[in-house]
Chain A
Amino acid sequence: MSSILMEAAIGSFNSVKQIAIIVIPIMIGLEILKDIGILDKLTQLFSPLVKIYGMKKEAGFPLVIGIVIGLSYGAGIIFQAAEEDKLSRRDLYLLTYFLVAAHAVFEDTAVFMALGVNGILLFVVRVTVAAFFTYLASRWIKVDDLDFEKMR
Protein backbone atom coordinates (compact mmCIF):
# COMPACT_ATOMS: atom_id res chain seq x y z
CA MET A 1 0.00 0.00 0.00
CA SER A 2 2.78 2.42 0.90
CA SER A 3 4.39 1.91 -2.52
CA ILE A 4 1.08 2.81 -4.16
CA LEU A 5 0.86 6.01 -2.12
CA MET A 6 4.46 6.76 -2.98
CA GLU A 7 3.70 6.29 -6.67
CA ALA A 8 0.72 8.68 -6.37
CA ALA A 9 2.75 11.26 -4.44
CA ILE A 10 5.64 11.27 -6.91
CA GLY A 11 3.37 11.10 -9.95
CA SER A 12 1.08 13.92 -8.87
CA PHE A 13 4.04 16.10 -7.85
CA ASN A 14 5.66 15.59 -11.24
CA SER A 15 2.40 16.41 -13.05
CA VAL A 16 1.95 19.64 -11.13
CA LYS A 17 5.60 20.58 -11.69
CA GLN A 18 5.32 19.90 -15.42
CA ILE A 19 2.15 21.97 -15.66
CA ALA A 20 3.76 24.87 -13.79
CA ILE A 21 6.73 24.80 -16.19
CA ILE A 22 4.41 25.15 -19.20
CA VAL A 23 1.57 27.27 -17.83
CA ILE A 24 3.56 30.03 -16.12
CA PRO A 25 5.56 31.10 -19.22
CA ILE A 26 2.40 30.97 -21.36
CA MET A 27 0.48 33.18 -18.91
CA ILE A 28 3.42 35.64 -18.83
CA GLY A 29 3.34 35.70 -22.63
CA LEU A 30 -0.41 36.29 -22.56
CA GLU A 31 -0.03 39.25 -20.17
CA ILE A 32 2.62 40.78 -22.44
CA LEU A 33 0.34 40.34 -25.46
CA LYS A 34 -2.52 41.96 -23.56
CA ASP A 35 -0.34 44.93 -22.60
CA ILE A 36 0.79 45.55 -26.16
CA GLY A 37 -2.86 45.77 -27.15
CA ILE A 38 -3.51 42.36 -28.63
CA LEU A 39 -7.10 42.33 -27.35
CA ASP A 40 -7.97 45.37 -29.47
CA LYS A 41 -6.22 43.87 -32.48
CA LEU A 42 -8.03 40.58 -31.99
CA THR A 43 -11.32 42.46 -31.73
CA GLN A 44 -10.57 44.04 -35.12
CA LEU A 45 -9.65 40.63 -36.50
CA PHE A 46 -12.96 39.23 -35.32
CA SER A 47 -15.07 42.12 -36.59
CA PRO A 48 -15.66 40.60 -40.07
CA LEU A 49 -16.69 37.36 -38.39
CA VAL A 50 -19.09 39.19 -36.11
CA LYS A 51 -20.54 40.89 -39.20
CA ILE A 52 -21.04 37.53 -40.94
CA TYR A 53 -23.04 36.40 -37.93
CA GLY A 54 -25.20 39.49 -38.32
CA MET A 55 -24.25 40.71 -34.85
CA LYS A 56 -23.61 44.28 -33.78
CA LYS A 57 -19.93 45.12 -34.08
CA GLU A 58 -19.84 45.91 -30.36
CA ALA A 59 -20.24 42.17 -29.77
CA GLY A 60 -16.63 41.68 -30.91
CA PHE A 61 -15.02 42.80 -27.67
CA PRO A 62 -16.95 40.57 -25.25
CA LEU A 63 -16.41 37.70 -27.69
CA VAL A 64 -12.64 38.18 -27.64
CA ILE A 65 -12.59 38.61 -23.86
CA GLY A 66 -14.50 35.36 -23.41
CA ILE A 67 -12.27 33.47 -25.83
CA VAL A 68 -9.07 34.71 -24.21
CA ILE A 69 -9.93 35.05 -20.54
CA GLY A 70 -12.83 32.73 -19.93
CA LEU A 71 -16.49 32.42 -19.14
CA SER A 72 -16.66 33.34 -15.49
CA TYR A 73 -14.91 36.68 -15.96
CA GLY A 74 -16.20 37.00 -19.52
CA ALA A 75 -19.79 36.72 -18.34
CA GLY A 76 -19.46 39.99 -16.41
CA ILE A 77 -18.18 41.77 -19.53
CA ILE A 78 -20.91 40.20 -21.65
CA PHE A 79 -23.66 41.44 -19.32
CA GLN A 80 -22.08 44.87 -19.22
CA ALA A 81 -21.80 45.00 -23.01
CA ALA A 82 -25.39 43.84 -23.32
CA GLU A 83 -26.51 46.77 -21.21
CA GLU A 84 -24.24 49.49 -22.57
CA ASP A 85 -24.24 48.59 -26.24
CA LYS A 86 -27.75 47.22 -26.24
CA LEU A 87 -26.79 43.89 -27.73
CA SER A 88 -29.83 42.08 -29.02
CA ARG A 89 -31.01 38.86 -27.49
CA ARG A 90 -29.91 37.11 -30.67
CA ASP A 91 -26.40 38.59 -30.29
CA LEU A 92 -26.27 37.33 -26.72
CA TYR A 93 -27.35 33.83 -27.74
CA LEU A 94 -24.78 33.61 -30.54
CA LEU A 95 -22.06 35.02 -28.29
CA THR A 96 -22.84 32.38 -25.68
CA TYR A 97 -22.93 29.57 -28.25
CA PHE A 98 -19.48 30.56 -29.45
CA LEU A 99 -18.14 30.87 -25.93
CA VAL A 100 -19.51 27.62 -24.50
CA ALA A 101 -17.56 25.85 -27.27
CA ALA A 102 -14.38 27.95 -26.97
CA HIS A 103 -13.46 29.93 -23.87
CA ALA A 104 -10.29 30.45 -21.84
CA VAL A 105 -8.52 28.88 -24.80
CA PHE A 106 -5.02 29.91 -23.73
CA GLU A 107 -5.29 28.52 -20.22
CA ASP A 108 -6.93 25.25 -21.33
CA THR A 109 -4.52 24.74 -24.20
CA ALA A 110 -1.53 25.43 -21.96
CA VAL A 111 -2.64 22.82 -19.44
CA PHE A 112 -3.21 20.16 -22.11
CA MET A 113 0.14 21.00 -23.72
CA ALA A 114 1.77 20.06 -20.43
CA LEU A 115 0.42 16.54 -21.00
CA GLY A 116 2.03 16.42 -24.43
CA VAL A 117 -0.89 17.40 -26.65
CA ASN A 118 -0.21 19.46 -29.81
CA GLY A 119 -1.41 22.85 -28.58
CA ILE A 120 -1.72 24.51 -31.98
CA LEU A 121 -3.92 21.71 -33.32
CA LEU A 122 -6.12 21.84 -30.25
CA PHE A 123 -6.39 25.63 -30.39
CA VAL A 124 -7.13 25.83 -34.12
CA VAL A 125 -9.70 23.02 -34.10
CA ARG A 126 -11.48 24.47 -31.10
CA VAL A 127 -11.78 28.03 -32.40
CA THR A 128 -12.61 26.96 -35.97
CA VAL A 129 -15.33 24.56 -34.86
CA ALA A 130 -16.79 27.16 -32.49
CA ALA A 131 -16.80 29.74 -35.32
CA PHE A 132 -18.43 27.33 -37.76
CA PHE A 133 -21.00 26.16 -35.26
CA THR A 134 -21.92 29.74 -34.39
CA TYR A 135 -22.27 30.42 -38.13
CA LEU A 136 -24.79 27.58 -38.40
CA ALA A 137 -26.62 28.91 -35.36
CA SER A 138 -26.65 32.40 -36.88
CA ARG A 139 -28.47 31.00 -39.93
CA TRP A 140 -30.82 29.10 -37.68
CA ILE A 141 -31.78 31.86 -35.28
CA LYS A 142 -33.73 34.42 -37.24
CA VAL A 143 -34.02 37.93 -35.91
CA ASP A 144 -37.82 37.66 -35.78
CA ASP A 145 -37.63 34.50 -33.67
CA LEU A 146 -36.62 36.51 -30.67
CA ASP A 147 -38.33 39.41 -29.04
CA PHE A 148 -35.05 41.26 -28.85
CA GLU A 149 -36.75 44.61 -28.87
CA LYS A 150 -37.76 43.88 -25.29
CA MET A 151 -34.15 43.71 -24.31
CA ARG A 152 -33.51 47.29 -25.33
Chain B
Amino acid sequence: MEKVNPAFSFDTIKRGFRSGLNITWKLAKILVPVYFIVTILKYTPIINWISAAFAPLMRVFGLPGEAAIVLVMGNVVNLYAAIGAMASLDLSIKEISILAIMLSFCHSLIVETTLAKKIGLSALKVISVRVGLAVVSGIAFNLFL
Protein backbone atom coordinates (compact mmCIF):
# COMPACT_ATOMS: atom_id res chain seq x y z
CA MET B 1 0.00 0.00 0.00
CA GLU B 2 1.50 3.22 -1.10
CA LYS B 3 0.38 6.45 0.36
CA VAL B 4 1.25 9.34 -1.85
CA ASN B 5 0.27 12.40 -0.01
CA PRO B 6 2.49 15.30 -0.95
CA ALA B 7 2.41 18.07 1.57
CA PHE B 8 3.04 20.60 -1.15
CA SER B 9 0.85 21.44 -4.08
CA PHE B 10 0.55 23.75 -7.01
CA ASP B 11 -0.04 26.47 -4.48
CA THR B 12 3.46 25.92 -3.07
CA ILE B 13 5.00 26.43 -6.48
CA LYS B 14 2.90 29.52 -7.05
CA ARG B 15 4.06 30.94 -3.72
CA GLY B 16 7.71 30.21 -4.54
CA PHE B 17 7.36 31.73 -7.99
CA ARG B 18 5.79 34.85 -6.55
CA SER B 19 8.46 35.17 -3.89
CA GLY B 20 11.22 34.75 -6.48
CA LEU B 21 9.57 37.29 -8.74
CA ASN B 22 9.18 39.64 -5.79
CA ILE B 23 12.90 39.41 -5.00
CA THR B 24 13.76 39.98 -8.67
CA TRP B 25 11.50 43.05 -8.80
CA LYS B 26 12.87 44.52 -5.55
CA LEU B 27 16.35 43.90 -6.89
CA ALA B 28 15.67 45.35 -10.34
CA LYS B 29 14.36 48.61 -8.89
CA ILE B 30 17.72 49.20 -7.21
CA LEU B 31 20.06 47.32 -9.55
CA VAL B 32 19.06 49.19 -12.72
CA PRO B 33 19.72 52.75 -11.51
CA VAL B 34 22.97 51.71 -9.79
CA TYR B 35 24.08 49.93 -12.97
CA PHE B 36 23.44 53.09 -14.99
CA ILE B 37 25.32 55.29 -12.51
CA VAL B 38 28.36 53.01 -12.35
CA THR B 39 28.45 52.47 -16.14
CA ILE B 40 28.40 56.22 -16.71
CA LEU B 41 31.06 56.67 -14.02
CA LYS B 42 33.26 54.19 -15.87
CA TYR B 43 33.49 56.64 -18.77
CA THR B 44 34.47 59.60 -16.61
CA PRO B 45 37.79 60.29 -14.87
CA ILE B 46 35.96 59.95 -11.52
CA ILE B 47 36.29 56.15 -11.62
CA ASN B 48 40.07 56.52 -11.87
CA TRP B 49 40.16 58.84 -8.87
CA ILE B 50 38.08 56.42 -6.81
CA SER B 51 40.17 53.51 -8.01
CA ALA B 52 43.45 55.21 -7.16
CA ALA B 53 42.22 56.43 -3.76
CA PHE B 54 41.03 53.01 -2.59
CA ALA B 55 43.60 50.81 -4.34
CA PRO B 56 45.93 50.54 -1.29
CA LEU B 57 43.05 49.52 1.01
CA MET B 58 41.39 47.16 -1.47
CA ARG B 59 44.69 45.46 -2.24
CA VAL B 60 44.49 43.84 1.22
CA PHE B 61 41.56 41.80 -0.13
CA GLY B 62 43.04 41.30 -3.60
CA LEU B 63 40.49 43.69 -5.08
CA PRO B 64 40.86 46.61 -7.49
CA GLY B 65 40.29 50.09 -6.05
CA GLU B 66 36.93 50.58 -7.75
CA ALA B 67 35.55 47.58 -5.80
CA ALA B 68 35.21 50.05 -2.91
CA ILE B 69 32.10 51.32 -4.73
CA VAL B 70 30.53 47.85 -4.28
CA LEU B 71 31.29 47.73 -0.55
CA VAL B 72 29.98 51.26 0.02
CA MET B 73 26.77 50.58 -1.95
CA GLY B 74 26.19 47.32 -0.06
CA ASN B 75 26.60 48.87 3.35
CA VAL B 76 24.93 52.24 2.87
CA VAL B 77 22.06 51.04 0.63
CA ASN B 78 21.72 47.23 0.48
CA LEU B 79 22.91 44.05 -1.19
CA TYR B 80 20.94 44.74 -4.34
CA ALA B 81 22.75 48.03 -4.90
CA ALA B 82 26.05 46.24 -4.38
CA ILE B 83 25.05 43.63 -6.95
CA GLY B 84 24.19 46.38 -9.44
CA ALA B 85 27.67 47.84 -8.99
CA MET B 86 29.31 44.39 -9.18
CA ALA B 87 27.50 43.55 -12.41
CA SER B 88 28.52 46.78 -14.12
CA LEU B 89 32.20 46.70 -13.11
CA ASP B 90 34.52 44.29 -14.88
CA LEU B 91 35.43 41.90 -12.06
CA SER B 92 36.77 38.34 -12.15
CA ILE B 93 34.86 35.46 -10.51
CA LYS B 94 37.45 35.41 -7.72
CA GLU B 95 36.96 39.13 -7.07
CA ILE B 96 33.19 38.69 -7.13
CA SER B 97 33.46 35.78 -4.67
CA ILE B 98 35.60 37.84 -2.28
CA LEU B 99 33.08 40.69 -2.42
CA ALA B 100 30.20 38.23 -1.95
CA ILE B 101 31.56 36.75 1.28
CA MET B 102 32.47 40.19 2.66
CA LEU B 103 29.02 41.54 1.83
CA SER B 104 27.30 38.43 3.21
CA PHE B 105 28.63 39.27 6.67
CA CYS B 106 28.37 43.01 6.41
CA HIS B 107 25.62 44.83 4.51
CA SER B 108 22.72 47.28 4.95
CA LEU B 109 24.40 48.54 8.10
CA ILE B 110 22.00 51.44 8.61
CA VAL B 111 18.76 49.43 8.50
CA GLU B 112 20.00 46.27 10.17
CA THR B 113 21.84 47.97 13.00
CA THR B 114 18.57 49.72 13.89
CA LEU B 115 16.98 46.26 14.18
CA ALA B 116 19.77 44.94 16.39
CA LYS B 117 19.49 48.02 18.61
CA LYS B 118 15.79 47.31 19.08
CA ILE B 119 16.71 43.92 20.52
CA GLY B 120 19.10 45.68 22.87
CA LEU B 121 22.53 45.13 21.35
CA SER B 122 24.85 48.10 21.10
CA ALA B 123 25.23 49.46 17.57
CA LEU B 124 29.00 49.77 17.98
CA LYS B 125 29.36 46.09 18.95
CA VAL B 126 27.19 44.85 16.09
CA ILE B 127 29.00 46.97 13.51
CA SER B 128 32.47 46.00 14.77
CA VAL B 129 31.56 42.31 14.71
CA ARG B 130 30.22 42.52 11.18
CA VAL B 131 33.05 44.64 9.77
CA GLY B 132 35.51 42.33 11.53
CA LEU B 133 33.97 39.21 9.99
CA ALA B 134 33.96 40.87 6.55
CA VAL B 135 37.63 41.88 6.76
CA VAL B 136 38.81 38.46 8.00
CA SER B 137 36.71 36.50 5.48
CA GLY B 138 37.78 38.81 2.62
CA ILE B 139 41.47 38.29 3.41
CA ALA B 140 40.93 34.53 3.81
CA PHE B 141 39.08 34.18 0.50
CA ASN B 142 41.82 36.13 -1.27
CA LEU B 143 44.48 33.81 0.16
CA PHE B 144 42.75 30.47 -0.28
CA LEU B 145 40.47 30.81 -3.30
Contact = CB atoms under 8 A, between A and B. Distances in A.
Interface string B1-21: 000001111001101110111
A125 B119 CA distance: 26
Contacts of B121: 93, 96-97
B137 A11 contact: no
B20 A20 contact: yes
A78 B116 CA distance: 11
B16 A32 contact: yes
B112 to A, nearest CB: 6
Q: Interface size for chain A: under 10, 10 to 19, 20 to 34, or 35 or more residues?
A: 35 or more
B135 interface: no
B3 to A, nearest CB: 14
Interface in B63-119: 79-80, 83-84, 86-88, 93, 96-97, 100-101, 104-105, 112, 115-116, 118-119
Interface string A8-35: 1101100110011001111111111001
A129 B105 contact: yes
Give the interface SS of chain B, mostly helix, strand, loop or mixed: helix
Contacts of A16: 24, 27-28, 31-32
A15 B87 CA distance: 7
B7 A35 contact: yes
B51 interface: no
Contacts of A20: 20-21, 24
A36 B121 CA distance: 35
Which 6 pairs show the lowest CB-CB distances between chains A and B?
A: A28-B16, A24-B20, A31-B16, A27-B20, A35-B8, A12-B35
20 contacts: A8-B88, A9-B36, A16-B31, A16-B32, A78-B119, A89-B120, A93-B119, A96-B119, A97-B121, A100-B116, A100-B129, A101-B133, A111-B23, A111-B80, A112-B96, A116-B93, A125-B137, A126-B101, A126-B105, A129-B133
